[in-house]
Amino acid sequence: MSQVRNRNNTEKKVVSDEERLTDQQKKELADLKKVHPANEFGGIIGTFLLTFILPVVVYWIWASLEFNEGYLLRPAELSVEGIKAFFVNLYNIVMEHAYPTKQATIIYFSWFFFQAFLQHFVPGRKVLGSPLPGGKRLEYTLNGWASWWITMIAVPAAAYFGLFKATILYDNYGSMLTVVNIWSFVFTFLLKIQAKIQDDEERMSGHFFYDFWMGFARNPRIGSFDLKLFCEARPGLILWVLMNFSIAAKQYETYGFVSISTLLVCAFHAWYIADYYYHEEAILTTMDIITEKFGYMLVYGDLAWVPFTYCFQCYYLYKHLVAGAPIQITIAYALGVVALKCFGFYLFRWVNSQKHEFRRNPDHLIWGKKPDFILTKRGTKLLCSGFWGICRHLNYTGDIILSWAWCLPCLFDSPAPYFYGIYFTTLDLHRCWRDHNACLEKYGDDWRNYCKRVPYVFIPRIF
């Protein structure tokens, strides 16, 4: 009898998830299933072109570094014939030197699944992500810091004890790049199938290439394994650092020393990634995790673009010779570059941490004062104090300064090593504009109000 009464009482209390949602949350969920306009990244044509042009750009700069001492390969003449000959030449280089070999496939997938193993099995702190539309919060296991150190000890140790050569990544660069290009396509198709089966697709436009680029589900998972967090944070980022080290090892093997410029670039990049893992929780409040869907843009960016292009400075420093030897810089120049790097890093780190800390604990003092904020209709708070009261994206300013500091050790013979600075400045300008539009959509008048209170974006009183 009492069991029945208990059950009845409990039944009265059970309110379906649907009923518990506020009107705002219901509207957010309904909006996700509406057809969305294909208006980002140049729309249907832009995303189609980007999908195929980006891999060609990477092959082009790599071929320039590997076969032309870092000077950009160009058509011999600006005519249809000249351009055709240029592409035929590039195609031949790829076929001959970037064919997806069995060895490259084994290396890459051993790496990929080693990182997946670490993400799944290394113990870590459990934290909740930011609220998603509808208010749901996903649980993440943060074990990046431990996984980073396990990898940074295990891989050099394996090379030291002769399991493979330290130059293995450089020696297989071209073939691995092709393996990853193919894998990015296959992986994105698998994400599409998973999202379709689980009815997890959101903000779809109905245009195949646009949706392929923008993605399907926001947080696809296999059990508790978060595919987006994994790709964002593991196989690409650490491979980038190891790729640098492998190129440095090649420089050592060839010339018997590692140049100051190469040491600086390797140290800067390793520091950036170590810091990333040290502050791993901050990734959960980034646009990639909160807002973006998981599709080819992020898959290709995370798996191919980051590790295979962010190492171009090191690649250039190995291949580009001045009077038959690697580039040499003076100590004074090196110190200037380090000073710029430290300034950029200070901005980047503390601006990001300030927002993150505020979101975790809104009462935490900022520069000795209680933070000022706008309480939005969504329930989240927009910080108007500290760095976030000076400009709306000083974190991007810091990152842009960093990106140029990483290029400067290459000196100025060729634009190829400046690829990262140019790309990253463009990315952050575009990202800022996209984030502005996303926030306008999310917050409406609250965001307009914030923009009025903090009118500058990157540089106080200028821009």
- Give contact residues for ligand NDP (rule: CB under 6 A): 130, 285-287, 290, 348, 352, 355, 380, 382-383, 388, 393, 395-396, 399, 428, 431, 435, 438-439, 442
Query: What's the first-to-final CA gap in the chain, in angstroms?
Result: 72
Helices (H), 408-418: none
CB of 176 or CB of 439, closer to ligand NDP: 439
Q: How far is the CB of 107 from ligand NDP (least distance, A)?
A: 23
Pick between residue 217 and residue 297 the one whose CB is nearest to ligand NDP: 297
Nearer to ligand NDP, 171 or 446 (CB): 446
Helix or strand holding residue 142 (H, E): strand 139-142
Q: Report residue 456: phi and psi, to 5°.
A: -95, 150
CB closer to ligand NDP, 287 vs 335: 287
Return d(Cα 74, Cα 65) in angstroms, integer. Answer: 13
Minimal distance, residue 318 CB to ligand NDP, in Å:
22
In angstroms, the CA 135 to CA 449 distance is 23
**Shortest Cβ 367–ligand NDP spacing (Å):** 15
Q: How far is the CB of 44 from ligand NDP (least distance, A)?
A: 24
Residue nearest to ligand NDP (CB): 286
Smallest separation (angstroms) from ligand NDP to the CB of 141: 21
The residue among 216 and 396 lying less far from ligand NDP, judged by its C-beta, is 396
The Cα-based distances of 341 to 34, 101, 270, 402, 414 in angstroms read 44, 38, 13, 5, 21
Enumerate the H helices of 128-283 as residue ranges. Answer: 144-160, 168-171, 173-197, 208-214, 227-233, 235-255, 260-278
The nearer residue to ligand NDP, 103 or 286, going by C-beta atoms, is 286
Query: Residue 286 in contact with residue 356, Cβ under 8 Å?
Result: no
CB of 229 to ligand NDP, least distance (A): 13
Q: Say how far apart CA 391 and CA 21 lie, in whole Å.
A: 34
Which of 58, 38, 441 has its CA nearest to residue 213? 38
How far is 98 from 95, CA to CA, in rounded Å? 6
CB of 287 to ligand NDP, least distance (A): 4
Nearer to ligand NDP, 171 or 232 (CB): 232
